[in-house]
Structure 1
Amino acid sequence: MRSLAELISDDRSAWAEIEASVTGSPYAIEILPTDPDRAASCLHRLQVGTASWLGALVYGTGGLVVDGGWLRVFGSGNPRRRLADIHAVNEVFEPAGLLVAQDVMGGEFVWRQGEAEDGRPTIHYFAPDTLRWEDLTLGYTDWLYAMLGGALDQFYLSWRWTGWRDEVAACPLDNGIHTWPPLFSKEGKDIESCSRHAVPMRELVSVKHDTADQLGT
Structure 2
Amino acid sequence: MDESAWPEVAAAVTAAPYPVEVLPADPTRAAGCLAALEITTRSWLGAVVANTGGLLVDHGWLRVLGSGHGGLPDVPAESDPARGLVTIGYDVLGGQFVWTQAQPGARPTVHYFGPDDLGWLDLEQGYADWLYAVLAGSLPAFYETLRWPGWESEVAGLAPDQAFSVWPPPFTREGKDLSVVSRMAVPLAEAVSFYQDAARQLGS
**What is the TM-score with the length of structure 1 in the denominator?**
0.89
| Contact preservation (8 Å) 1:72, 1:101 | yes
Distance 1:120 1:165 in 2: 35
Asked if 1:54 is matched to 2:45, the reply is yes
How far 1:96 moved relative to its partner? 6.0
Which structure features the higher share of helix residues? Answer: 1
Aligned length: 203
Q: How does 1:146-165 map to 2 (within 5 A)?
A: 146-165=133-152
SS in structure 2 at match of 1:102: strand
Distance 1:64 1:160 in 2: 20
Asked if 1:170 is matched to 2:157, the reply is yes
Q: Which amino acid aligns with 1:109?
A: F
Asked if 1:17 is matched to 2:31, the reply is no
Q: Which residue of 2 aligns with 1:135?
A: 122
Q: Comparing 135-144 with 196-205, which one deviates more in the overlay?
A: 196-205
2:33 to 34, 38, 42: 42
Q: Which amino acid aligns with 2:38?
A: Q
| Contact preservation (8 Å) 1:75, 1:85 | yes
Distance 1:87 1:125 in 2: 18
Distance 1:76 1:215 in 2: 34
Structure 2, gaps ≥5 residues long: none
* Structure 1 segments (4+ residues) deviating >3 Å: none
Structure 1, gaps ≥5 residues long: 1-7
Q: Residues 192 and 198 from structure 1, CA distance in 2 versus in 1: closer, same or farther, beyond 3 angstroms?
A: same
SS in structure 1 at match of 2:166: strand
Q: Comparing 124-133 with 172-181, which one deviates more in the overlay?
A: 172-181
Could you list the per-position Cα deviations for residues 19-53 of structure 1 after superposition, in whole angstroms to 9, with x for gaps in the alignment? 11111110100111111111111111111111100
Q: Which residue of 2 aligns with 1:97?
A: 85
Asked if 1:202 is matched to 2:193, the reply is no
Q: Which amino acid aligns with 1:48?
A: I
SS in structure 2 at match of 1:69: coil
Q: Which residue of 2 aligns with 1:189?
A: 176
| Contact preservation (8 Å) 1:114, 1:137 | no
SS in structure 1 at match of 2:73: coil
Distance 2:159 2:83 in 1: 22
Q: Which amino acid aligns with 2:86?
A: L
| Contact preservation (8 Å) 1:14, 1:56 | yes
Asked if 1:114 is matched to 2:102, the reply is yes
**What is the TM-score with the length of structure 2 in the denominator?**
0.94
SS in structure 1 at match of 2:153: helix
Identity between Structure 1 and Structure 2 (%): 52
SS in structure 1 at match of 2:158: coil
